[in-house]
Amino acid sequence: MPSVFIKTYGCQMNERDSEAVAAQLVTKGYSLAKSESAADVVLLNTCSVRDLAEQKAINKMKNLVGTAKKDRPNQILGYMGCMAQSRGKELIEKLPDVDLVLGTQKFHRAAEYLDELLAGKREKIVDVEAEAKSEATIREHLLNGSAKTSVSAFVSIMQGCNQYCTFCIVPYTRGEERSRSIPDIVAECRQLVSQGVKEITLLGQIVTSYGKRGFGRAELPLGQDAQQRVPTTDGKSPFVQLLEAVHEIRGLERIRFTAPHPKGYDDDLVEAYARLPKLVESAHLPVQSGSDRVLKLMHRGYTRDRFLGIIKKLRRAKPDIGITTDIIVGFPGETEDDFEQTLSLAREVQFDNAYIFKYSQRRDTPAAGMPDQVPLKIREERNHRLLETVNEIGKRKYDAFVGRRTQILVEGPSKKNPARMTGRTRCNKIVVFEGAERHRGQLLDVKITRAGSFTLYGDPAIVNL
Ligand code: SAM
């Protein structure tokens, strides 16, 4: 049977999509190749959020055409995911050695299309059509193959986005928001737990919108107030109802989710942290800017005050909560004063970490055509200044763990040094310690002895054996 190599660019949702495609292919008898040069099929799962990510995938494909495919002329090359969706057949027109372009609603068709290409029944396949119910097709998991059990798994709860932030390409690459049903998601989580998974991260572009447009495709007539379709029960949003349902699963130890949106971050979700012990003390809440003027231009739908209010409530509910964010610097029209407000917000919130992005013009997005685009030099300079502030705060936060005892869930050997094990605190910090394979999947108390750059080190001497 053929072998496949999948390379993933971008976010956790892309990682999850790649895993589902790999699992689908393994079920059909494909093996997973260790390198692209050894594979019969190479798939690049692409990201379009920034131009850099697109260029990386395009250069990678050009490189494959000139190397791996030269040695294996029958090798099948494919693009899938966000860039495949937004560029479609243009990708094959530019690089005729590409055989497959698979859109974001078509991952479940990967095996069928590859079979046709490998059998020579079709020469090229481009499929970027919308497909009803495709949100429920990202469900197969690999769980690291046979002997070793994955401790942590990602579960896709919805696809698409209706927020239309002016900088963002996602609504155009992932389509409109569609949510899977609660029973369907719970069944997948139960299955994972029965296979040894202890921690589940619920994934969606904006999880706080989960279920708000009903399940499946939005059917209400245009112009009807979105709030009318919210199936809220006892003041709890559909997302909080989903958290409660997943929380019931016996054997599941921890629940995480990403990414919520400050606009839909209501008190029921803050209260869920206080009520549901498996919901760990960790929140990734993208703020994007500290300036109200820029937030408005971005069409984010909240103010700086509203964001700070949510953080305050979260810390009141869970004082030790780890808080991370996404920030864009150099959005069109961002002045030095706007940027200073972002710096001051970062200092005020004291994020544990922040992912900082230099604004990147994306085609078809409103911000790409806005006046006062910020020159690259200024975007780079702001990126650098904000990074310094974020790193300084992060270092203090990580240093504060030294000497403390904390619970970790052991995930497996450290990627950098496989002789050591890594685990994760409830507040989402990586802890490296001198453990052994038998610790995998265990909840352990460790004493933190040292803090490195966004990594903690635990003392093996007091690991509970
Ligand atoms: N759905 C999440 C939200 O809107 O809060 C974020 C998803 S996006 C894949 C991850 C991050 O990429 C965003 O939070 C944003 O900071 C960044 N991003 C999106 N579009 C961008 C652009 N045009 N330029 C730079 N960064 C961008």
Q: Are 122 and 169 in contact (CB under 8 A)?
A: no
Identify the CA nearest to 216 among candidates 172, 185, 182, 181.
181
pLDDT of residue 86 exceeding 80: yes
Ligand 1 site, CB within 6 A: 11, 49-50, 165, 167-168, 170, 205-206, 259, 261, 286, 288, 326, 328, 357, 359-360, 362
- So what's the pLDDT on residue 146? 43
Tens-digit pLDDT profile for residues 18-66: 999 999 999 999 999 999 999 999 999 999 999 999 999 999 999 999 9
- So what's the pLDDT on residue 217? 42
pLDDT > 70: what percent of the chain?
94
pLDDT of residue 236 exceeding 70: yes
- So what's the pLDDT on residue 464? 53
- So what's the pLDDT on residue 311? 98
- So what's the pLDDT on residue 412? 94
- So what's the pLDDT on residue 232? 78
Task: Return the best residue to mutate from 49, 159, 258, 297 for the ligand 1 pocket (most ligand atoms within 8 A of CB).
Answer: 49
Q: How far, in Å, CA of 65 to CA of 67, rounded? A: 6
Task: Return the best residue to mutate from 210, 328, 359 for the ligand 1 pocket (most ligand atoms within 8 A of CB).
Answer: 328
Averaged pLDDT, 190-209: 96
Averaged pLDDT, 397-425: 95
For tokens 């993208």, the residue is 286
How many angstroms separate the alpha carbon of residue 49 from the centre of ligand 1?
6
175: left (phi over 0), alpha (psi -120 to 50) or beta: left
Q: How far, in Å, CA of 368 to CA of 24, rounded? A: 37
- So what's the pLDDT on residue 195? 93
- So what's the pLDDT on residue 234? 84
Residue nearest to atom 13 of ligand 1 (CA): 326
The pTM of the full predicted model, rounded to 2 decimals, is 0.94
Q: Across all residues in the chain, what is the average pLDDT?
A: 93
Residue nearest to atom 7 of ligand 1 (CA): 205
pLDDT of residue 418 exceeding 50: yes
Averaged pLDDT, 422-451: 95
pLDDT of residue 244 exceeding 60: yes
Tens-digit pLDDT profile for residues 373-394: 999 999 999 999 999 999 999 9
- So what's the pLDDT on residue 222? 40
Structure confidence at residue 245 as a pLDDT band (50, 70, 90) = very high
- So what's the pLDDT on residue 462? 58
Q: How far, in Å, CA of 79 to CA of 53, rounded? A: 13
Q: Are 20 and 56 in contact (CB under 8 A)?
A: no
Q: How far, in Å, CA of 162 to CA of 169, rounded? A: 11
Q: Please indicate whether residue 216 or residue 209 has the higher confidence score (pLDDT).
A: 209
Residue 10 CA: nearest ligand 1 atom is 9
Tens-digit pLDDT profile for residues 143-192: 765 445 689 999 999 999 999 999 999 999 999 999 999 999 999 999 99
Averaged pLDDT, 247-265: 97
Q: 151: which residues sit within 8 A by CB, 6+ positions away? A: 196, 197, 198, 199, 409, 410, 411, 412, 440, 441
- So what's the pLDDT on residue 4? 97
pLDDT of residue 463 exceeding 90: no
- So what's the pLDDT on residue 465? 52
How many angstroms separate the alpha carbon of residue 150 from the centre of ligand 1?
28
Task: Return the best residue to mutate from 11, 326, 353, 373 for the ligand 1 pocket (most ligand atoms within 8 A of CB).
Answer: 326
How many angstroms separate the alpha carbon of residue 413 from the centre of ligand 1?
31
- So what's the pLDDT on residue 11? 94
Identify the CA nearest to 58 among candidates 70, 71, 47.
47
- SS3 of the chain: the string is CCEEEEEECCCHHHHHHHHHHHHHHHHCCCEECCCHHHCCEEEEEECCCCHHHHHHHHHHHHHHHHCHHHHCCCCEEEEEEHHHHHHCCHHHHHCCCCCEEECCCCHHHHHHHHHHHHCCCCCCEEECCCCCCHHHHCCCCCCCCCCCCCCEEEEECEECCCCCCCCCCHHHHHCCCEECCHHHHHHHHHHHHHCCCCEEEEECCCHHHCCECECECCCCCCCCCHHHHCCCECCECHHHHHHHHHHCCCCCCEEEEECCCHHHCCHHHHHHHHHCCCECCEEECCCECCCHHHHHHCCCCCCHHHHHHHHHHHHHHCCCCEEEEEEEECCCCCCHHHHHHHHHHHHHHCCCEEEEEECCCCCCCHHHHCCCCCCHHHHHHHHHHHHHHHHHHHHHHHHCCCCCEEEEEEEEECCCCCCCEEEEECCCCEEEECCCHHHCCCEEEEEEEEEECCEEEEEHHHCCC
- So what's the pLDDT on residue 329? 98
- So what's the pLDDT on residue 147? 42
